[in-house]
Structures are given as C-alpha cells and as structure tokens.
Amino acid sequence: MSPTEAIPLLLVVLLMISAGGDDVREMSVSFEGDTDVDSVADVHVVAGGTATVPGATTVDGDVYVIGGTAVVDGTVDGDVTLLNGNLSVGDGATVTGTVQTYSGAAAVSPDASVGRLSQFEAPAPSSSPAQRVGGFLLQLIVLGGFGWRLVERHPRVVENVGAAIAEHALVSGVVGVLGATTLVVLFVYMAFTLILLPVAVVGLLGQFLIVLYGQAVFGYLIGTRLPIERDGVATLAGVAGFLLAFEVLGAVPFLGGIAQLVVAAVGFGAVLNTYFGLQRFEPVAIPSES
C-alpha cells in the first residue's frame, strides 16, 4: 500500500488517536517490505508489507494495522488495532492492552496472553423509509439553512462562486481536485508528528465545510431557475432539488459515485478560485501570437 492509498485509513487512525486523548508525540509507519519492530515511537502503523514484533522483544506503544500483515511473536505493551489487512498473535506472545478488530483477518493463538479481545460489529444498515426521509430532512435543514442565510446576508459572495461554477466548471473542477488532494496529503503528513494533529483535524474539518459551501451554491444556482421571487426561499428549494439529484446519482453503480465526486470537486474549486466568493473569478487569458 502506497502512502497515497493509505491516506483514508491513516486519517481514521489519527482521529482515533485524537479521540483517545493519550499523550502521543510521534508516529512511525511501515509501507512495504519485511520489518522487525524492535521499538515503537508511541504509535506504529502497519500500512503494507510485513511488520513483526520478534519473540523475546518488548515494544512499548500501540500498533495499528491498516494494510499488509502484522505478526506479534513478542510483547506489545499497549493496544493492537486491526482496521484492515492481517494480524497474527502467535504462541507465547503478549499484548497487555486490547486487541481490537474492526475489519480484516485476525488470528490470535489460544496460548497468547491478551488483555482483552474485542470485535467490532457494524450495525446493520437500515432501509426504513422513515429513517431515510429523516436523514434527507436533516441534510436539507443544515445545507438549506446555510444557503438561505448566505444568500440573504451576502448575495454577492454566492453570485461570485455560482458564476465560477456555471461559467468555468472545467477550471473549477481541476482546481478542486488538485486543491483537495494536496490539502488532504498536507494535513495527513502534518499529523504524522502528532504535535500538529489538532491543526490537521481543524484543516480537514475546514475542507469539509468548503465542500458544503460549494453544495449550497449549487442549490442557489438551481433555485435561480425556479419561479420563486425570494432568493432565500429559492435557494432552499434549489438545495432540496440538489440533494435529491445527489441521492439519485448515488444509486447509480460506479458512474454515480464518480459524478458525485466531480460535482464536489467543481464546487470546491469554485470556492477556492473566488477566494470564498470575495472576488469574481476571471481566468487568465493567454495572449495569442500575432
């Protein structure tokens, strides 16, 4: 697993560490090859290859497995968490904390000493119409309320972002893909130090809010085409139409997911291109040769 492929699960690990509240300052990651883990810098993440804690070796810290294989033949004075990949705890091995399995294949020898074994059971997804309608209404209230307030208080800002989406969708999409990917990679690598983890979490939250901002503007653009006089009400109705279309796209296998990502990227790029709507976006004209 390459560093780029590991980013989504690394984000999960960073959030789990942050939520745990432990005094963690360093994190090491192995991506490929065979590695003997003789010591752990607070946290070690196995993202690929095979990482082994040899027999007669004690490591002090937590181990997270998000890809590849982790083999514990010695002692881990901490927790071992399996998010993806394979985990083997051999005969005579010791894990003083919890062996937590979320996904992947875990083989724990009955002759191993483990503080606690825990298996995460994902709740069964519900197809209840009431829950689906409730989820849709919650999205509509949050996104529609945000769009309504933004249009009523700062119409010029919304117009600038909307123009970037409608008139320069290709440029906005390219900027959105490059910008979002670069920022995610930057925040993840910042979080590797763990000292900057709070900054990285805030940055990722900011990216999510930018995506919502772009989606609200899509609702505004749809609302401008509806026979409704008040801009705020039209935006709310447009957001409802946008969310319905987004749900329909999500039901289309493969292509629907790609279409959703494209829409999110265009909105993200339009927000960046207009400096969050503070400036009208005009692409640079390339002078032609005379």
Element (H, E) at 279: none
Give domain status of residue 240, yes or no. Answer: yes
- Show the 3-state SS of 203-270: HHHHHHHHHHHHHHHHHHHHHCCCCCCCHHHHHHHHHHHHHHHHHHHHCCCCHHHHHHHHHHHHHHHH
The residue among 52, 85, 119 that closes a domain is 119
111 lies in the same domain as 178: no
Q: How far apart are CA 165 and CA 146, in angstroms?
A: 18
pLDDT band at 167; cut points 50, 70, 90: very high
CA dihedral 173, 174, 178, 179 (to 10 degrees): -50
257 lies in the same domain as 199: yes
Q: What value does the mean pLDDT of the chain take?
A: 87
Domain that holds residue 182: 129-273
83 lies in the same domain as 150: no
pLDDT one-digit tens code per residue, 97-109: 999 999 899 999 9
* CB of 91 closer than 8 Å to CB of 109: yes
Distances, alpha carbon 165 to alpha carbons 20, 91, 171, 219, 233, in Å: 40, 60, 9, 12, 21
Q: What is the mean pLDDT of residues 180-190?
A: 82
Q: How far apart are CA 214 and CA 42, in angstroms?
A: 39
Least confident of 69-78, 98-107, 242-251, 281-290: 281-290
Q: How far apart are CA 117 and CA 175, in angstroms?
A: 46
114 lies in the same domain as 165: no
DSSP bridge pairs for 77:
60
What pLDDT is attached to residue 192?
65
Give domain status of residue 197, yes or no. Answer: yes
Give domain status of residue 52, yes or no. Answer: yes
Number of domains observed in the structure of the chain: 2
Give domain status of residue 290, yes or no. Answer: no
The residue among 73, 99, 119 that closes a domain is 119
